[in-house]
């Protein structure tokens, strides 16, 4: 089922085009990472589909248009940028305000607060919380009414290592329940670990979108080093199955097809009379892919 | 409707600014009258009677005038705060993305302001009745409450107007400090400068039009009962510039509608 459909969304701030003709969709059950560097238009996109910002053109539709816009948002749990609560109220009172907005019957929040580890501090005022606790309360607020769709915007921003690990575990747990999740992040590792799908944005443009496995190609990298890398480069540039050769930290990164492994690379080098002092095989990470995609895009412009 | 009022109540019932403003109003409305009584004793003004201000029927107008100062201060402050705090804590954003639409947010504040004005008016009526009975001798209920309905309505409108003007500046400026500064500066200085200097001296517009400015109109809903006071003064000529009560009501309604329309239109269009 189509949960969210975005068509040609555009939004400018003065001369800067934050979102540029963005078209994408979110299907039920997907855990979608919205990936891009700072300023790529992730938060602006989320702001528009959550009713906070007005787009210049384009449209979006939640749940196939079966609800009004505000009503649709009541079926979603969302955090945008910072955790926003009434500083003079405690966790229970704050959650109760958002429960009222969602027009849900009175309930106790034991389970939700337990899940994010705030049960003991539920009666403390929000302004006394650490950033990690504030962020966890924000996640708790998204869980009110057990919505099927959740939106997180840079959920680990500003947290310490423990906080980051806690937050990832919580979101991972939510994703594992089969909920539909849209998570904006500039941290590749986070998206790679949590998401099933990824949409890559840069300067408001969509660069790539699809399952994480598809965005990650089957090609691998073999990193090599020798005393004569010029010669090494010449040798490998004529080998079939070597897709690309690039410099990496004074070494060479050979992008190779699945048919070529480290053993074959070593063999080719020794046959050419070059002795390798470094040989490392690794899978293409999302980070490599991301840089490659953004690099290609910049070159095409 | 009740749902939206309840939501506002839940937001502010434990808020210290809200509590302080409401308690200050509850306490100061009766207390100020007593202090005025002491001041009149102290300054030895040439009055035929001092007690007349604190007896029916004059006490109604006197209390209403005293109340207008407090509404200007406490409810105007509250009006600004109720809106700007939601911008500054970014709870407005969270309200909207949780599923409240903008009209409901705006409407909730408006309903809450209306309820606050109604309750403050009710308190004004009760406390004035109590004080009036304590100070007056042998008064029938009918003569004690003559003209109170229309005065109460004007009092309600006056309170609502200060709240509404505060909220209007809150929506336009978003920042608490800035909106409060403009609220007090406009009412205390700016409007008077525009009325008395810019309009008549610079633009050369006739003085009779300078009564129609918003804060002057609100002020004239519950003015100091000068006419009645002059009767008590031995040697002062009776000169005053006040709007007729019904005209003041009509103009105040007009200004309020204008503030609401501008604030709502801007709020609907703004990025949060």
The pLDDT of residue B39 is: 74
Strand partners, A230: none
CATH number at residue A229: 3.30.70.100
Rounded Cα distance, B161 and B153, in Å = 12
pLDDT at B40 over 90: no
A170: alpha, beta or left? (left if phi > 0; alpha if psi -120 to 50):
alpha
The answer, yes or no, to whether residue A141 has pLDDT greater than 60, is: yes
A181 and A63 within one domain: yes
A158 and A266 inside one domain: no
A231 found inside a domain: yes
Contact A73 B99 (CB under 8 A): yes
Backbone angles phi, psi at A31, to 5 degrees: -110, 95
Q: Is B105 exposed, middle or buried, given 0-12, 13-18 or 19+ CB atoms closer than 10 A?
A: buried
- For residues A131 and A238, state if they share a domain: no
Q: Does A160 have pLDDT greater than 90?
A: no
A180: three-class secondary structure by DSSP: strand
- In angstroms, the separation between the Cα of residue B154 and the nearest Cα of chain A is 34
| Interface ipTM | 0.89
Distance from CA of B92 to the nearest CA of A (A): 9
Q: Are A235 and A268 spatial neighbours (Cβ–Cβ below 8 Å)?
A: yes
Look at chain B and report how many structural domains it folds into: 1
| Between A241 and A57, residue with greater pLDDT | A57
**CATH assignment at residue A148:** 3.40.50.300
Residue A301 clears pLDDT 60, i.e. is over it: no
What domain range is B38 assigned to?
Answer: 2-269
| Cβ-defined contact of B90 to A84 (cutoff 8 Å) | yes
Kindly determine whether residue B10 and residue A102, on different chains, have CB atoms separated by under 8 Å. no
pLDDT grade, residue A260 (50/70/90)?
A: confident
> Beta-strand (E) ranges in chain A?
2-13, 16-27, 31-35, 57-62, 76-78, 149-153, 180-185, 197-202, 205-211, 220-226, 242-248, 251-256, 276-283
pLDDT-derived band at B230, boundaries 50, 70, 90? low
The percent of residues above 70 in pLDDT, for chain B, comes to 92
Assess whether A137 and A176 both reside in one domain: yes
**Percent of chain B residues past pLDDT 90, beyond the cut:** 64
Residues A86 and A183 in one domain: yes
| Residue A54 is assigned to a structural domain of this protein | yes
Which among A78, A93, A100 has CB closest to B14?
A93
N-terminal to C-terminal alpha carbon distance within chain B: 24
Q: Does A124 touch chain B (CB under 8 A)?
A: no
Rounded to an integer, the average pLDDT of B157-166 is 97
Q: Are residues A92 and A141 in the same domain?
A: yes
Dihedral, A282, A283, A289, A295 alpha carbons, nearest 10 = 30
By a Cβ cutoff of 8 Å, what residues of chain B touch chain A?
Answer: 3, 6-7, 10-11, 14-16, 89-91, 93-102, 104, 269, 271-272
pLDDT, position B139? 76
Query: Cβ distance A62 to A4 under 8 Å?
Result: yes
Res. A281: pLDDT tops 90: no
| pLDDT number for residue A249 | 81
pLDDT at site A162:
86
* Chain B residue whose CA is closest to A49: B97
Residues A28 and A114 occupy one common structural domain = yes
What is the least distance, in Å, from the CA of B184 to any CA of chain A?
26
Q: Do the beta carbons of residue A118 and residue A149 sit within 8 Å?
A: no
Inspect the interface and report whether the beta carbons of B99 and A102 lie closer than 8 Å: yes
Same domain, residue pair A79 and A172: yes
**Does B240 have pLDDT greater than 60?**
no
Please judge whether B91 and A47 are an interchain contact, meaning their C-beta atoms are less than 8 angstroms apart. no
Instruction: Give the pLDDT confidence score for residue A286 in this predicted structure.
Output: 62
Do residue A170 and residue A74 come from a single domain?
yes
A51-97: pLDDT as tens digits: 999 999 999 999 998 998 899 999 999 999 889 999 999 999 999 99
A192 plus A93 within the same structural domain: yes
Q: Residues, chain A, total? A: 301
**A25: containing domain:** 2-215
pLDDT at B239 over 60: no
How many CB pairs below 8 Å do chains A and B form together? 76
Mean pLDDT of B189-209: 80
Q: Determine the distance from the C-alpha atom of residue B15 to the mean position of all C-alpha atoms in its chain, rounded to a whole number.
A: 21
| Lowest mean pLDDT across A179-188, B48-57, B185-194, B263-272 | B48-57
Q: What is the dihedral of CA A202, A204, A210, A211, to 10 degrees?
A: 60
Q: Are both A48 and A195 inside the same structural domain?
A: yes
Q: Which pLDDT band, with edges at 50, 70 and 90, does A275 fall under? A: very high
Q: Chain A residues with CB inside 8 Å of B98's CB?
A: 73-74, 78, 98, 101-102, 141
Q: Supply the pLDDT for residue A32.
A: 94
Q: How many CB atoms lie within 10 A of CB B149?
A: 10
Residues of B in contact with A53 (CB under 8 A): 271-272
pLDDT given at position A285 = 62
Higher pLDDT, B159 or A236: B159
CA distance B179 to chain A (A): 20
Out of A76-80, B82-86, B131-135, give the one with best mean pLDDT: B82-86
Chain A residues with CB-CB distance to B16 below 8 A: 88
Residues of A in contact with B14 (CB under 8 A): 88-89, 93
Return the pLDDT at B44: 66
- pLDDT of A203 reads 86
CB contact, 8 Å: A16 with chain B? no
Picking from A50, A67, A79 by the largest number of B CB atoms within 10 A of its own CB, the best residue to mutate is A50
Which residues, 6+ apart, have CB-to-CB distance to A171 below 8 Å?
A139, A152, A155, A181, A183, A194
| A102 and A16 in a common domain | yes
Q: List the single range of A48-62, B48-62, B245-259 with lowest mean pLDDT.
A: B48-62
Report the number of distinct structural domains present in chain A.
2
A297 inside domain: no
A130 within a domain of the structure (yes/no): yes
- Chain B residue with CA closest to A71: the answer is B99
Question: Which range has the worst mean pLDDT, A256-270, B35-49, B214-228?
Answer: B35-49
> Is residue A137 a part of any domain in this protein?
yes
Task: Give the gap in angstroms from C-alpha B189 to the nearest C-alpha of chain A.
Answer: 34
DSSP one-letter code for A104: P
- Percent share of chain A, pLDDT over 70: 93
How big, in percent rounded to 5, are the helix, strand and coil portions of chain B?
Answer: 80, 0, 20
Does residue A196 have a pLDDT over 70?
Answer: yes
Record: contact B7-A97, CB cut-off 8 A: yes
pLDDT at B134 over 90: no
d(Cα A93, Cα A147) in Å, to the nearest integer? 20
What was the pLDDT predicted at B236? 54
């Amino acid at each position: 089922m189509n949960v969210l459909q975005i068509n040609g969304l555009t939004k400018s701030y003065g001369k800067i085009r934050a979102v540029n003709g963005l078209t994408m969709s979110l299907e039920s059950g997907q855990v979608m990472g919205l990936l891009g560097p700072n300023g790529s238009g992730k938060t602006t996109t989320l702001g528009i589909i959550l009713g906070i910002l007005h787009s210049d053109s384009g449209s979006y539709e939640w749940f196939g248009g079966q609800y009004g816009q505000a009503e649709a948002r009541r079926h979603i749990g969302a955090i945008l940028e910072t955790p926003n609560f009434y500083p003079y109220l405690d966790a229970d009172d704050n959650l109760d305000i958002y429960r009222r907005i969602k027009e849900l019957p009175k309930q106790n929040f034991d389970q939700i607060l337990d899940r994010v580890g705030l049960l003991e501090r539920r009666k403390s005022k929000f302004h006394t919380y650490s950033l990690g606790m504030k962020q966890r309360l924000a996640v708790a607020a998204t869980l009110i009414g057990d919505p099927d769709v959740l939106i997180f915007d840079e959920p680990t921003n500003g947290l310490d290592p423990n906080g980051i690990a806690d937050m990832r575990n919580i979101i991972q747990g939510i994703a594992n329940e089969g909920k539909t999740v849209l998570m904006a992040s500039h941290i590749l590792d986070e998206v790679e670990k949590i998401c099933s799908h990824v949409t890559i944005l840069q300067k408001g443009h969509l660069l790539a979108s699809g399952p994480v496995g598809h965005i990650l190609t089957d090609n691998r990298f073999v990193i090599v080093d020798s005393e004569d890398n010029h010669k090494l480069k010449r040798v490998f540039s004529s080998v079939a199955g070597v897709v690309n050769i690039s410099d990496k930290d004074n070494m060479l990164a050979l992008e190779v097809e699945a048919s070529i492994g480290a053993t074959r690379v070593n063999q080719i080098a020794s046959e050419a009379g070059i002795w390798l002092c470094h040989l490392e095989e690794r899978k293409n990470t999302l980070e490599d892919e991301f840089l490659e995609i953004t690099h290609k895009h910049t070159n095409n412009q | 409707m009740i749902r939206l009022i309840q939501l506002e109540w839940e937001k502010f019932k434990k808020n210290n600014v809200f509590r302080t403003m409401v308690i200050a109003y509850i306490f100061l409305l009766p207390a100020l009258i007593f202090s005025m009584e002491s001041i009149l004793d102290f300054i030895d003004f040439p009055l035929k009677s001092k007690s007349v201000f604190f007896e029916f029927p004059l006490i109604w107008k006197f209390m209403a005038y005293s109340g207008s100062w407090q509404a200007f201060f406490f409810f105007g402050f509250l009006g600004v705060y109720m809106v700007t705090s939601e911008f500054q804590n970014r709870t407005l954003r969270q309200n909207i993305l949780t599923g409240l639409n903008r009209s409901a947010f705006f409407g909730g504040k408006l309903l809450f302001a209306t309820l606050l004005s109604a309750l403050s008016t009710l308190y004004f009526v009760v406390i004035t009745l109590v004080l009036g009975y304590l100070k007056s001798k042998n008064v029938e209920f009918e003569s004690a409450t003559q003209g109170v309905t229309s005065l109460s309505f004007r009092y309600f409108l006056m309170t609502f107007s200060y709240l509404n003007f505060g909220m209007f500046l809150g929506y336009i400026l978003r920042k608490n400090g800035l909106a409060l500064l403009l609220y007090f500066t406009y009412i205390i200085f700016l409007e008077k400068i525009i009325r008395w200097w810019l309009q008549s001296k610079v633009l050369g517009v006739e003085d009779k039009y300078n009564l129609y400015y918003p804060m002057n109109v609100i002020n004239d809903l519950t003015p100091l009962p000068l006419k009645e006071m002059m009767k008590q003064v031995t040697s002062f000529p009776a000169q005053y510039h006040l709007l007729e009560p019904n005209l003041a009501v009509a103009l105040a309604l007009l200004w309020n509608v204008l503030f609401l329309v501008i604030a709502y239109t801007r709020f609907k269009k703004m990025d949060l």
